[in-house]
Structures are given as C-alpha cells and as structure tokens.
A and B are shown apart, each in its own frame.
Chain A
C-alpha cells in the first residue's frame, strides 16, 4: 500500500503506471451535505495551493439550512493567475444521489465524475464523462473503523485528490495536523487513516488519472513574500486593521457577519473594540460616535441593513464625518436570496439617503483587493472627512484566494486620534478648505467649542437658514468629492486600446470580465476590458476611453431595470450621455460564467454590426454632429 505516512514513501513520487499529464489548472466541485465537511476539503486544497505558490480561487455555497442540507465547494487551482472560479467543473465528486442529480450538469463533457458507489447510481452508459465508482463511504469506514461511522469521508476524498493531482502530501499532512492538532489525538490519527486510504485507492484503480500542475514561473512571484490564503471578508477586516481602524459597530447579517466577528475578536488585541448593537441604525450611530472622538470607525451590513443606515449616512455627509461603511451585497430586495451573489446595491450605495449626499463608493475586484480597498477607503475617509462605502459581495466574502502577503511594515497606519490643541481660528466647516474636526478632548484656542450637526450650518457649526450658506455648504460637500475624483488613478484597461467593444466591469465581476476579454480577443474581435474600483466618484478620463470603442458593454449581476440597463450602466449613461453604453445583466444569484459575458457581448456586437450595415449612425458619428 502506498501511504504518505510511511517515511519510505516520498509524497507523490511513487507514480501509477503512466507519467503525470501536465495541466494548467483544474476545477473540482465537491457536492455532498454540509455536515460532510466539504468546505474543509476545499479549505485544505485552497491553503495547499497557497503554500505551493499556485493561484487558487474557490466558490462555495452556504447551505440555506443551518445544519444539514446540500452543500458544495468548488475549487479552481492552478498555475498563474486564476481569474474566476471556472464555468464548468473538470472533476465532480458526488457524495449522494441528490449531489449527482443536481450537479452532473456542471461537469464539462470529457470531465471526470467520481461518485460514491455506496450511495450513487449514475445514468448508465453516460459516455460524456469518465465515470469512476469510488467506495467513499465503505472505504472510509473500513479505514477508520470504530464508532466514527463514515466521518472522515471528506479526508478520504482529499487523499484521493492528492494522489490524482500529485499534490504535496507532506504539506497536506501538515495542514491536517494544524487543523485538527488542537483536538484530541484520535482525531488526527483517524484523519490520517482516512487520508491514507483515499490516497492509496487510485494506485490500483485509476491508472490513467494522474496529473501534475505546470511548473511555476517564479518571476510572477516577485514580491518575495509568501502567499496567504483567506476569504474576502477576512482580507477586508485585516485591511482595516492595517489602516489603523480600531473601532467599529455592527449588527449581524449574512454575508457581512464574519467581518464583525473577526473584528470583535481581533480588535481588543490592538487596544480597540467592536460593539454589537441592537440594530443597524444604532451600529452606524455608534460608529460615527467613534469617528467623532477621532478614531475612524467602521460599520457594515448587507443590503437591508444598509437601507437602515441611510438616515445616519445623511447626517455623516452633512456633518462631514469620516466613516467606513462596508456593504457585502447579496440577492435582494428584502431578505431576497441571502446566500447568493448580486451587485444590486450600487445605486443605493451612491444615491441612497435623503437630500444631496455626495459620498465615496469603492468596490474590490478580488479577495486580495478587499485588503487594499479597505486601506484606500480609510485613507480617503480621513483625507476628505467623508463616509466611504465599500461594496463587496457574497462571492468575494466567501471565496478563498491565495495572494502575496502584504508588505505590512510599509503599509501600517498609525491609529492615534489627534487631540492636539486647535488654534483660535479653528472652524469645523471652513468654506475654503476640507473639514478637519477637532475631537472632544482637544482644546480650542478661541474658547468657542464646535458643534457637529445635521442642520445646515455656518463655518462654526451654528445652524443657519441662510439660502446662501446652504448653497455654499452643499457645494463644499460636493467639491471635495469631485476633487477626490481628479486625484484617482486611471482604471485598469486590458486588451486593445480601441476597437469594436469595451467590456466594463466592477466588483467581483473583474475576473470573469478579464477572462471573457481573452476569449473575445481570441475570437478575432478587437476589444478591451475596463474595470472600475472607484465607482463614485468616477476617475477622470473615462470619456476619452469610451470614445475609442463602438460599443461599451457593462456586465453586472443585477437587473436590467425598467429601461434595459444595469445599475452601473445607468450611472455611466447618465454621466457620459453616450448611447453606445449597453448592458449585460443577470439575476440568477450566481457569479458570471465567462460564456454568459461572451454571449452578451456577441449579441451587442451583432446588433452594432447590423445597425452599421443598415446605415444607422454610431454614437461616435453622432458625437461629431
């Protein structure tokens, strides 16, 4: 028997008959029930990939029932950049008949089906796939024995996958020990028994299923820092910590909760605190209270909670308080599809609340970017004394990716509140400068202490009914956000710098967008891909970029609305008055498949070509009129 635990067997070296076939990446979908520990297999694979300098992206579903119920974990691992979780799986592991029934459609033709022969009867003679019967349950029971029943099936499968993909067994064993090490030793031993049994099985049964990932191009890993593996919510929380945020308040809601849980656990170590409030209104209020004391604070929620925060957000805009609001989007409206992804809170984030409330909206493009966008949000909130909304989403929140550890010594921000004395000329709301509040505790030279207020006010914070001041102060609040817009870097533009089509994405649609562009270019269409991280204000220069393409196709996960355009497309059309801006939208609660974007783009290109051949003027021609 080949056992990775026996010292004489170096991990993965004793290959089955054939030499491994080299692959760039693989998409493995595990389908079972949530109590089977599917997520932890995914977690092991993701962290292993991270430790192996491979890129990894995972896609998981949170079961709608609290315990039990179907659950899947999809992991795509491979060499080089992994941009999306993959349209279809190369390998499906089905633990139960219902897993098989529900997910066989996600397996690509030619893919490999591994099914538990103790539970699943696949359609006979289905030769679209390589079907492999694996005694997952009985193999696990046999290996582990005792009272554990079939506990450990997940680790059995992990062993099997390790063998098939020639993974680094030493590293995996170390991960298993780290994971279970804290518990009693029996658990580690049983896990390793299940792992070994799973690892041994292909030796005699799966001769030709043997792969190895392409060698890493080390030049692409130039940072010199090791990779870390985590989900988007963790990355966001740690980004806030690096940015010097030490205070926060929230109310639980999926998929935001894990951010507040992380912060509640971590902040006391840093001398800070996170308050669980009675509701989202109290949470944003407490957070603004923290900010008022000079400690930039964070609150957050998902769509329904963001709606509750709106009145207070209006106050923060009026009183010009720095604040970070995280909104991890999910399917809406109302409780909607609480464990699915959607990008349907964009307009709420930009325009929600009452009155004219210019504010900043940023959106991270992947898990790594959750870290950096959190840092950027804090810098902006402090520099411009403004609320900043970070629009993440369910996909980013729950998916695990590997990325280079940030350069912490360079990045760390000092969290100290500035309680230094303010001069006699201190004004909280100067018309000719950006507001810099004096937190309570700081002495004011004039002896006149400032009031922060949601009423329209003069430069000293006194309420006013003056129309002139309301006009001036409204402009003050607007102009500082516009000023930020002019300082933003040009957005990421990939592919051709002019051509038939420009694909525009925001948020977690970045990866699928970039992959879609590759396919579009490969098909011989000249086109580019533009990704927006700064949604509001928009960076300068987009107009010129848009004018270089015949069609600007905005792909986003939300509804086309009454007028046929997704939410970012509505914004861009209003801003640039460019009729070439069109939409590809969807509301199935899932991340974009590359093929869906490509098909949407193709549809628009076709119609543009048709328009052209019928002599319908293109916008660029119109623009010259």
Chain B
C-alpha cells in the first residue's frame, strides 16, 4: 500500500529525465536457445516500456523458475527471480507493499498452470494490481522436455514417451475462471500484437494476464504453426466491439461480456487472439485495502502509532 506514512520521501539527487530506451533497459544477454520464442516477448516488452515511460525505478520485473522465468535478468529494472510457481504471491506483496510500483511477472506454462495454479487463481480473484505474462510453450523447457499442463494429448515427452494421455487445460477458460479482470492471448511471432496486448494489460487497473504462445524450438518445435500464416496456419484476431452502430458491430466481441469470452475460449485449436475479457469496474485489492486503512484511520482519529498502542494496552489493564 502506498500509505504515505510508511514510505520515506525519495531523495531528488538522481534525475531520470532521460527517456527509457531499449538500450537502457537491456541487462544481461539472454541465455535462451537461438530461435526461442521468448526473445520476441522480451523485445516486445522493451517496446512496451519505451511506450509507457514509467519512472525507471518504479518498474519491477519478477518471475518464478523456468526458461521463460529468466526474463528479469535480461531487463534492467528492479526485479527478481523467485522460486518455481510462487512468483505471483510474491508479486502481490510487492504490489500491495508499494502501490506506486508497476509490477510485471513473467513465467512459463508449468510455472503458472501447474505448480503455481492455485496462486494464479487467488491472486487473480483478489484482483491484485499487477501484470502477468505467461509464456506458454506447452512443454517444460528448462528441465528438458517433460509434459506440461498445456501439452496436447499425444505429444511425446520424456515423461510421456508414448505421447501425453492427460487432458490439457484450456488456458483461456482457466484464466477467465480465476476472476482475472483482464485476460488476453497473443503469439510470439506477432510483435505488434504482443506490444499492444501487454501495453493494455499494463494500463489495466487490476490483475491483468496475457498468455503468449511462445515456441520452444528445442523441445517442441512447430507447436504453434497452425496459427502462423507463413507456415500455413491461420491468425485469427478478435474483432472488438466499437459501438459505432454499424451492422458489422453486432458480430464483434464485447470484451466486458464474460459469457462471450468463455465462448471464444471454447473455440477449436488454434483459436483466436486478442483481448477476451476486460472488467474495469471491480475494485483492486490495492484499493480495497487502502479503503480499510482510511476507515480505520478515521475511526481512530488519525492517532499516532504510539497513541494507538498505548490506548490498546490501557484496555488490557
């Protein structure tokens, strides 16, 4: 929470007048395999930050464990690399601990939907103000090709040598179900689209999540060809309602319509890309907690910490 009483005023010695550029934002050289889809996600993220021009020191890039989760090392912002699957509750602490920050979390399909699945549900339903990017390659990359919760039936991995047999999850349905207030889907071969989705996600007040299909060239080459036009696939963009009164508009997708979003999520593979759902009405946990503080401070007539404790102890005499 950005309760003004809990943060010392920043000193003004260092000026960050220079605009944030890719050059400034670049940190360690990525350790990903050449051709990995994650490079494009990283390049798009630089562009998002160049567009948004947040104060440099207020950007936080965070992640769990996986190839995709190495992301924060490659971005020159405050950030961290946490444990497998638990980056979201950590990031919730960051967001709620200092409301001024712009918190971005990156991770893989295993990190987010398997070991971290429950955290995803709860961070989303609480509508903690942060942006979560899931780089879905439908495989465990870092641990070298085991079945992931998004691996399709029949996909051969080291843990399913004769092909995966378990029903994979449907990421979009899962994300809609969590209660996330911004749900979008993109593709690592579509840089402009990724930039647009991540930018909108960043601007969204509340828990925003973007699933990006990002190919693991090492362990699941060709996984997403069916949505890459130059490989013979179809790139199906969601047409959002413009409310322009034209007859075509009736067929366009209303992003505030949860039922319509679920319908889109039920489309046959490879499905559509774009914003599935957006709810700007529900309050964020950040706001709700701040309201609790305001009410409590009113009730206690803005007593100082010392007065509060002394009054509490006086009642226990």
Residues of A contacting B72 in the complex (Cβ-Cβ under 8 angstroms): 451
Residues of A contacting B90 in the complex (Cβ-Cβ under 8 angstroms): 285-286, 288-289, 292
Give A50 to B315 CA distance when docked, in angstroms: 12
Q: Given A270-B308, A293-B98, does the pair A441, B7 have CB atoms closer than 8 Å?
A: yes
Give A453 to B3 CA distance when docked, in angstroms: 27
Q: Which of A194-202, A311-319, A582-590 contacts the other chain?
A: A311-319
A208: Cβ under 8 A from any B Cβ: no
Q: Given A269-B296, A439-B98, does the pair A455, B93 have CB atoms closer than 8 Å?
A: no
Q: Given A230-B316, A279-B118, does the pair A241, B309 have CB atoms closer than 8 Å?
A: yes
Chain B, interface SS category: helix
Q: Which residue of A lies closest to B24 (CB)?
A: A447
**A416 close to B7 (CB less than 8 A):** yes
Q: Given A421-B14, A441-B57, does the pair A278, B101 have CB atoms closer than 8 Å?
A: no
Residues of B contacting A449 in the complex (Cβ-Cβ under 8 angstroms): 27, 56-57, 76-79
The interface bits of chain B over 295-313 (1 if a CB of A lies within 8 angstroms of the residue's CB, else 0) are 1110110010110111011
B251: Cβ under 8 A from any A Cβ: no
Give A408 to B314 CA distance when docked, in angstroms: 12
Q: Which residue of A lies closest to B299 (CB)?
A: A269
**B312 close to A440 (CB less than 8 A):** no
Of residues 127 through 184 on chain B, the ones whose CB sits less than 8 Å from some CB of chain A are none
**B93 close to A226 (CB less than 8 A):** no
Range for the number of chain A residues in contact with chain B: 35 or more
**B119 close to A282 (CB less than 8 A):** yes
Residues of A contacting B98 in the complex (Cβ-Cβ under 8 angstroms): 293-294, 417, 439-441
Number of A-B contacts (CB under 8 A): 227
**A419 close to B119 (CB less than 8 A):** no
B30: Cβ under 8 A from any A Cβ: no
Q: Given A228-B316, A242-B309, A282-B122, does the pair A275, B96 have CB atoms closer than 8 Å?
A: yes
**A453 close to B81 (CB less than 8 A):** yes
Give A294 to B10 CA distance when docked, in angstroms: 13
The interface bits of chain A over 430-468 (1 if a CB of B lies within 8 angstroms of the residue's CB, else 0) are 000000001111111101111111110000001100000
> Of B27, B121, B310, which contacts A278 at CB under 8 A?
B121
**B83 close to A454 (CB less than 8 A):** yes
> Of B56, B82, B122, B312, which contacts A238 at CB under 8 A?
B312
**A226 close to B317 (CB less than 8 A):** yes
Residues of B contacting A319 in the complex (Cβ-Cβ under 8 angstroms): 80
Give A238 to B310 CA distance when docked, in angstroms: 11
**A275 close to B8 (CB less than 8 A):** no
Q: Which residue of A lies closest to B75 (CB)?
A: A449
**A268 close to B312 (CB less than 8 A):** no
**B300 close to A269 (CB less than 8 A):** yes
Nearest CB of chain B from residue A593's CB, rounded to whole Å:
29
A405: Cβ under 8 A from any B Cβ: yes
> Of A273, A278, A286, A294, which contacts B293 at CB under 8 A?
A273
Nearest CB of chain A from residue B27's CB, rounded to whole Å:
8
Nearest CB of chain B from residue A463's CB, rounded to whole Å:
7
**A290 close to B97 (CB less than 8 A):** yes
Q: Given A249-B93, A449-B77, A451-B72, does the pair A443, B16 have CB atoms closer than 8 Å?
A: yes
A217: Cβ under 8 A from any B Cβ: no
**A285 close to B7 (CB less than 8 A):** no
The interface bits of chain B over 245-275 (1 if a CB of A lies within 8 angstroms of the residue's CB, else 0) are 0000000000000000000000000000000
> Of A226, A286, A417, A445, which contacts B89 at CB under 8 A?
A286
A344: Cβ under 8 A from any B Cβ: no
Nearest CB of chain B from residue A408's CB, rounded to whole Å:
6
Give A405 to B303 CA distance when docked, in angstroms: 19
Give A423 to B259 CA distance when docked, in angstroms: 52
A502: Cβ under 8 A from any B Cβ: no
> Of B119, B296, B313, which contacts A228 at CB under 8 A?
B313
Nearest CB of chain B from residue A240's CB, rounded to whole Å:
11
The interface bits of chain B over 7-39 (1 if a CB of A lies within 8 angstroms of the residue's CB, else 0) are 110110110100000001001100000000000
B73: Cβ under 8 A from any A Cβ: yes
**A246 close to B6 (CB less than 8 A):** yes
Residues of B contacting A439 in the complex (Cβ-Cβ under 8 angstroms): 78, 98
**A268 close to B97 (CB less than 8 A):** no
Give A563 to B292 CA distance when docked, in angstroms: 53
**B93 close to A287 (CB less than 8 A):** yes
Spell out B's residues near A (CB within 8 Å).
1, 3, 5-8, 10-11, 13-14, 16, 24, 27-28, 56-60, 72-73, 76-83, 86, 89-98, 100-101, 118-119, 121-122, 289, 292-293, 295-297, 299-300, 303, 305-306, 308-310, 312-313, 316-317
Contacts A229-B317, A290-B94, A408-B309 supplied; 12 other A-B pairs, CB < 8 Å: A50-B317, A249-B93, A275-B92, A275-B96, A283-B89, A412-B309, A438-B78, A439-B78, A440-B59, A442-B57, A447-B24, A448-B27
The 9 A-B pairs at the shortest CB distance, nearest first, are namely A289-B93, A293-B97, A440-B78, A268-B296, A282-B89, A271-B3, A285-B89, A278-B122, A452-B80
